[in-house]
Amino acid sequence: MGNVDYVYPSAAEGGESLHQAAIPPPQPFVKSLKNCLKETFFPDDPLRQFKNQPARRKIVLGLQYFFPVVEWGPRYNLGFLKSDLISGITIASLAIPQGISYAKLANLPPILGLYSSFIPPLIYAMMGSSKDLAVGTVAVASLLMGAMLGVEVNAAQNPTLYLHLAFTATFFAGVFQASLGLLRLGFIVDFLSHATIVGFMGGAATVVCLQQLKGILGLTHFTHATDLVSVLRSVFSQIHEWRWQSGVLGCGFLLFLLITKYFSKKKPKFFWISAMAPLTSVILGSLLVFLAHAEKHGVEVIGELKKGLNPVSITDLVLVSSYLSTTIKTGIITGVIALAEGIAVGRSFAMFKHYNIDGNKEMVAIGTMNMVGSCFSCYLTTGPFSRSAVNYNAGCKTAVSNVVMAIAVMLTLLFLTPLFYYTPIVVLSSIIISAMLGLIDYDAAIHLWKVDKFDFLVCIAAYAGVVFASVEIGLVIAVVISLLRLLLFVARPRTLVLGNLPNSTVYRNVEQYPNADNVPGILILEIDAPIYFANSSYLRERIIRWVDEEEDRIKASGESTLQYVVLDMSAVGNIDTSGISMFEEIKNILTRRGLKIVLANPGAEVMKKLDKGKFIESLGHEWIYLTIAEAVAACNYRLHSCKPNLVTDEKAEPWNNV
């Protein structure tokens, strides 16, 4: 990089800026706190619509906020009903077999999968803001709930207590979810990064698929552990108990499901083929077992399903101290996973249809449906991707598609449950594996590798934690790694050397723009983050190291000696007392070395705190400029017109002569 010639400011006697960097007027503490809380908890300003409205209108707007059906209901028409009717029937054909399958995954009675596809969708249709989310149980949350509750109570030995704990955990999950929404704490869910979710979901899907080997191979005894080693040990230690009839049936239906899914993916207008495939598999499997009496030859069937609507279970909630910690922990962890999936799915489809959903409002809706559901024999529900994708492709217009699905499930509970008696467990295992393979997102992992290697490592760590340890440990690893990365961003911010682009007053990173020129006698550094106690020591050391490296470069090249260090503060949105102390230390260190620190473009919050911390008084307001160009021009003017008085502190050593 070469050196650049400068045009000195003609209007500036001493190179002063035409506009001085201003210190914002002081604000009362209460007003500052109010603004801070508003930006933290109400970034979307949901109360804006209530301003200057009469009392009656405010009541209507409040109802519309918590019950969006009040807003779109009056505009509903027969055209919407036709689309929602088709969508609702289509997702019901998927919800019924999936619900039964996922309940088995949670070690719960299969009928609970149907109960959970009846009450919660009705609640969400009134309170949810997504037009496309199809509510129901999900495999990952089901597996997680089964694994966490199974540590406390064996579902086979004490099924009643286990069932009641599942209802209680669902209730606490709902309370936690709704609380996050009401308290505007939805940003907590954002700590699960995209890479974390990809790895965790992929690992959980792999574990779920491995667990289905029990059903595919017709095994009666199987490990309760979810890690890869334990599952494979359990499978291969029982080779003599593998049932070929069950294996052939399972592989056949799995192949059928994968073929229909592949066909529908290639021909999107035939989406209904893959949507109907699970129910078709259940019907064909039941007929095959019934006609061939396969249940007598080692093919396990569901058996009798209780007929009738959801029984009330509010009195079954277990609130005694001996199990309270387990149910609360299970509820919070499964609730977070359910929220992350439901909101991510809702936002994805909202983006496709060009409308917005309120994350906090969704949390209240999902939490409420889980609280109410737990009182009516339902376990944890959210918006699964597979069901919502079918709903979207079927052309749904509103949340009424959830109502149609709930009515279809209700009719099934009232009249059709006896037909599921001969449904083979192996078919349910095939349905689960088919659904889970879609959650192992190879393309997303490859994309992470190409774009950000660290994100890829986060993804792989989350995946490995789930597959080789447990779902809970994998989740902890995923969250810890995400938080560590966040801390790294905060504690190790980037600092960049800037140079001048030829024939301009623009200054850019010299690594990104190799043609950017060094400024003789001046080192320009950009600080690319707010300055807090967590990064102030690092920034002090890094800035001094930049100065050392620049002086070494100047000695090697024989250029003009370094006199000024300009700090570009454009990206520094805030600073705390540790940051102010760090600037004082840097100023004193540079002064003793015969250098002067200059600030460029500090923001309002930074200027306010530097002023209150007396740093501006210590540095001198004349050394703070609006732009890098003005700072460089002023420094350059002083370099070429006079020998500046470099002693700003009586204890500091005088500068070397220029």
> Is position 55 within any domain?
no
pLDDT at 105: 87
pLDDT at 18: 53
Which one of 484, 516, 546 terminates a domain? 484
pLDDT at 50: 81
Tokens of 257: 């499901």
Total domains in the fold of the chain: 2
Please state, in angstroms and as integers, the Cα–Cα distance from residue 464 to each residue in 207, 246, 581, following that order: 11, 30, 43
For residues 544 and 428, membership in a common domain is answered with no
pLDDT at 649: 44
CATH code for the domain of 543: 3.30.750.24
> Is position 97 within any domain?
yes
For residues 532 and 443, membership in a common domain is answered with no
Q: What 3-state class would DSSP assign to 4?
A: coil
In this prediction, residue 244 has a pLDDT band, given cuts at 50, 70 and 90, of confident
In this prediction, residue 643 has a pLDDT band, given cuts at 50, 70 and 90, of low
For residues 469 and 535, membership in a common domain is answered with no
For residues 529 and 433, membership in a common domain is answered with no
pLDDT at 489: 85
Q: Which of 321-325, 550-554, 584-588, 638-642 is predicted with the least confidence, judged by mean pLDDT?
A: 638-642
Tokens of 241: 């108990």
For residues 451 and 540, membership in a common domain is answered with no
> Is position 477 within any domain?
yes
Q: Is the pLDDT of residue 51 over 90?
A: no
Half-sphere exposure of 30 (CA within 13 A, CB side): 0
Question: What's the angle, vertex CA 307, arms to CA 304 and CA 310, rounded to 5?
Answer: 120
CA dihedral 481, 482, 484, 487 (to 10 degrees): 180
Tokens of 356: 């917005």
What whole-number distance in Å separates Cα of residue 656 and Cα of residue 643? 10
Q: Is the pLDDT of residue 47 over 80?
A: no
Cβ-contact 597, 590 below 8 angstroms? yes
pLDDT at 395: 85
> Is position 58 within any domain?
no
Q: Residue 330's domain spans which residues?
A: 70-484
95 φ, ψ (degrees, to nearest 5): -65, -35
Q: Is the whole-model pTM more than 0.85? A: no
What whole-number distance in Å separates Cα of residue 447 and Cα of residue 598? 42
What whole-number distance in Å separates Cα of residue 95 and Cα of residue 278? 9
> Is position 23 within any domain?
no
